[in-house]
A and B are shown apart, each in its own frame.
Chain A
């Protein structure tokens, strides 16, 4: 597996990361190196091995349905670049 310039630009755009042409130029070989390195794992036959979902045997814990959180609007909005009347505000996005 490898990526080309167009793929790198697309991934960056999906992740909302701005990249310059120079950065794309540098990133294509970097990512391909990493992908090649990881592809070595493909040499191991894992056809009879179940995917591992956790390092220690454990089950997903569920919680009871009670309200224990929320009502912390000031804390939630504290780091917002812009907030008004209890709302976050963002540049207008409309379909």
Chain B
């Protein structure tokens, strides 16, 4: 449960949040036409006569879009409706040449499901929580309007028109901006694991309509507002924060909340009423006579189920329970599908799980951060990293030498073995050589030696450091420790 409350002048208010997420289905072509669905093409070049709604054109559904929506439903443990139907949602706007959007109101493809958000004490989410998903339906995206190209005209690009979307409708189960953020992040992770949506919020592949209402503890649900098309996790959280506070102000001033559509302004973090659409809410839905009901065979659904990968929650549990990785590391390594893939490739190359997890979390992430690269563009491959880690395990490299070798791998792209040979970075366990250096260090630091022997044992680290320094970091630290103890003892 979240302890999030809005502190009004007359007392505390609870916030109730539901999200409708529009996720673009990953596909080559559109939902009902053979035009390309990719992002960023020249205007109106990915438009067929079907998408432009020329008279007489008929929609034919894309099997892959249906398949991906079913897989998404299965990934959130949802009921799959083997019989569903498409409806027309009628409205007039310049981004919608048909005059209606083909959607699924009455019989959606996917029914009731749920996902789990994780506890995050810092964010005020005290324990893991199940968030219900009411339904997922498949529908067409609209085109794009540009208002800044001409003083009196709006430009219309229909490339997006007809691209397949999944509308994923949550239950109003969230009670704080943090819970809504966690839900969106988890949903995005699942979509990306499943491969049904790339989750790219900047390019508009995922956007959310945010339903918010407030109420006094224990009271009935208040009137909600819907803030449309918010396109980042942070903005969704800001929109909720602002909208909840606005509603509390209105109610405490004796006003009433109007059920309405609002727009979020990312520059100010505020929402404002979108009054012009008030009248347009009469969508006059009816079954699309161009499309027969969508009937799926048991075999189709089973094929979808069989094709699902291991999902983030299961993967994280396995990392902890089977691989022995810490809960925190497991959570970070499984949060993004690319990270998990890279990490598992590293294990496939023979790296030991716990060592590999620590190395990825500290060394690899540190380097990628510094270079401003994502893990998919890592200059070091899993195979190269596995070789480096093996050199640590077999005692050829100490931890600090491994860091040096890794830096050179990043710079040159050479393998760890090559660098060790070429630059002579091998760690030495040669006791004779190390003893000679230790004797030298002790001779050069009589003061510290005196203090150590009179009880200042913290100086042990100083001698280790001096010895390692004199050996350019190449001495085996375990051997140095052992020999130093003997020499100092």
Interface 1/0s, chain B 17-36, versus A by CB < 8 A?
Answer: 00000000001110001111
Q: Judging by beta carbons under 8 Å apart, are A65 and B152 in contact?
A: no
Interface 1/0s, chain A 34-47, versus B by CB < 8 A?
Answer: 00000000000000
A93 CA / B94 CA spacing, docked (Å): 8
Residues of A within 8 A of B64 (CB): 64-65
Partner of A69, one of B33, B155, B157, B292: B33
CB distance from A41 to the nearest CB of B (A): 16
Confirm or deny: A71 has a beta carbon within 8 angstroms of a beta carbon on chain B.
Answer: yes
Confirm or deny: B149 has a beta carbon within 8 angstroms of a beta carbon on chain A.
Answer: yes
Closest to B64 in A: A65
A89 CA / B157 CA spacing, docked (Å): 9
Confirm or deny: A77 has a beta carbon within 8 angstroms of a beta carbon on chain B.
Answer: yes
Residues of A within 8 A of B60 (CB): 61-63
Q: Judging by beta carbons under 8 Å apart, are A65 and B63 in contact?
A: yes
Closest to B29 in A: A67
Q: Judging by beta carbons under 8 Å apart, are A88 and B291 in contact?
A: no
Residues of A within 8 A of B295 (CB): 59-60
CB distance from B172 to the nearest CB of A (A): 26
A88 CA / B29 CA spacing, docked (Å): 22
> 8 Å CB contacts to A: which residues of B26-83?
27-29, 33-36, 42-52, 60-66
A60 CA / B85 CA spacing, docked (Å): 10
Q: Judging by beta carbons under 8 Å apart, are A76 and B152 in contact?
A: no
The SS class assigned to the B binding surface is loop
Q: Judging by beta carbons under 8 Å apart, are A65 and B154 in contact?
A: no
CB distance from A72 to the nearest CB of B (A): 7
Residues of B within 8 A of A71 (CB): 45-46
Residues of B within 8 A of A73 (CB): 42-45, 47
Q: Judging by beta carbons under 8 Å apart, are A92 and B154 in contact?
A: yes
Confirm or deny: A90 has a beta carbon within 8 angstroms of a beta carbon on chain B.
Answer: yes
Closest to B280 in A: A14
Confirm or deny: A1 has a beta carbon within 8 angstroms of a beta carbon on chain B.
Answer: no
Q: Judging by beta carbons under 8 Å apart, are A67 and B34 in contact?
A: yes
Closest to B228 in A: A95
Closest to A74 in B: B44
Q: Judging by beta carbons under 8 Å apart, are B29 and A65 in contact?
A: yes
Confirm or deny: B126 has a beta carbon within 8 angstroms of a beta carbon on chain A.
Answer: no
Confirm or deny: A54 has a beta carbon within 8 angstroms of a beta carbon on chain B.
Answer: yes
Q: Judging by beta carbons under 8 Å apart, are A65 and B147 in contact?
A: no
Residues of A within 8 A of B93 (CB): 93
Residues of A within 8 A of B158 (CB): 76, 88
Which of B35, B44, B150, B292 has the most A CB atoms < 10 Å from its CB? B44
A7 CA / B147 CA spacing, docked (Å): 33
Known: A62-B66, A66-B34, A70-B46. 13 other contacts (CB 8 A): A10-B282, A13-B279, A59-B292, A59-B295, A60-B294, A63-B34, A68-B34, A69-B49, A85-B149, A85-B155, A86-B42, A89-B150, A89-B155
Which of A54, A64, A73, A87 has the most B CB atoms < 10 Å from its CB? A87
Q: Judging by beta carbons under 8 Å apart, are A94 and B52 in contact?
A: no
Q: Judging by beta carbons under 8 Å apart, are A91 and B292 in contact?
A: no
Q: Judging by beta carbons under 8 Å apart, are B47 and A76 in contact?
A: yes
Confirm or deny: A20 has a beta carbon within 8 angstroms of a beta carbon on chain B.
Answer: no
